[in-house]
Amino acid sequence: MAKANIPERPEGATGILVLADGSVVWGRGFGATGEAVGELCFNTAMTGYQEVMTDPSYAGQVITFTFPHIGNVGSNDEDVEADTAHALGCVVREDVTAPSNFRSNANFTEWMATNGRIGLSGVDTRALTRRIREAGAPNVVIAHSEDGQFDMDDLLAKARAWSGLEGLDLAKDVTRDDTGTWTGGPWRLGFGYEGASEVDRPHVVAIDYGAKRNIFRNLVKAGAKVTVVPAQTSLEDILALQPAGVFLSNGPGDPAATGAYAVPVIQGLLERDIPLFGICLGHQMLALAAGAKTMKMHQGHRGANHPVQRLTGDQSGLVEITSMNHGFAVDGATLPDHVTETHRSLFDGSNCGIAFTDKNAFGVQYHPEASPGPQDSFYLFEKFVGRLG
């Protein structure tokens, strides 16, 4: 077996990225020390690095940020999508600088260390992004050591031994532990996160496959009362909550693996004509429940600038600027006759939305809660809640 192709260690290098093909990228480590193995991807968003790092959909992945200035606005306790970071680490171009934002209460380097996540700076992220685009998302090990000393053969062996995301159910690892009520609304400058009365609101049960918190806030903003349940909650337990509608959240891993327990529940909800709305992994679960198939993408879609075209309705042809984070997609060619493709990516033509013609159920591949556009996609929450009566 070939050993790692090790370039000379640059002066001051304390971090390293070892790819499964033997390629090695040196950099300056920051945040936590140690090592982590996962899939390397890239994200093209110019803002929101804290939201990205805490998005449970990034479990098992190391993120290359294409925007060079990551960490420059520091970190705070509000711009998070979960209790902890779920991305394994990140690779950035420039060193993290002192925070320049009145909302910051900690340096991003400190935040990474507190959350046990490894960062690597001083990397040619444009070259790394091109490598991912051309060869696909590789398995890697990211490592940080204060003395810059690493066992290269061991790191390479770990990168090659990792199974990858295909066939991996990660939703069960990132979901919440118990059922709970969500009451927080959207954030406003000077006010923080608003609350909401539960009086006369339709009850939405949200299945948490690795949900971002802002999804629940947008459901509240659209007028719903929200109860969140773990990913493996049974159909009987969901029905016992008497939902007016059920929301299927985003999440990490291979949808086909998560579908082993999620799809029968969704099919049971469809049989009972309960309105459904899915986002990202939830969208893929909905498609699998209809009989369609999903597939691993070459490089995936991750960023806040993805154009998606509507294909149906009064505004057919309109283009939304969307936020995306997915490495799997619904195979549009496998959709059954009773499911219509409603949205399509203008980057590569992949499926980005479906709707059942015989049920009150629809889903989108992108993240309408992430304020892309910034308001292009909120209508989806209004559409779902508006159907619940």
Residues noted as catalytic: 280, 367, 369
- Long-range (24+ apart) CB contacts under 8 A made by 333-340 are 334/291, 334/292, 334/293, 335/287, 335/290, 335/292, 336/290, 336/291, 336/292, 338/290, 339/287, 339/290, 339/292, 340/312
- Contact (CB, 8 A) for 60 and 81: no
Phi, psi angles (nearest 5°) of residue 284: -65, -40
In order of 12, 35, 64, the CA distances from 148 in angstroms are: 8, 12, 21
Return the residue matching tokens 């609350």: 195
**276-279, strands of its sheet edge to edge:** 180-182, 225-230, 203-208, 245-248, 276-279, 361-364, 351-356, 339-345, 294-310, 319-330
- Contact (CB, 8 A) for 275 and 363: no
- Contact (CB, 8 A) for 171 and 118: no
DSSP string, 126-172: HHHHHHHHHH---EEEEEE-TT----HHHHHHHHHH---STT---HH
Q: Cis before residue 68, ω within 30 degrees of 0?
A: no
Burial class (CB in 10 A: 0-12, 13-18, 19+), 369: buried
Return the residue matching tokens 């993290």: 96
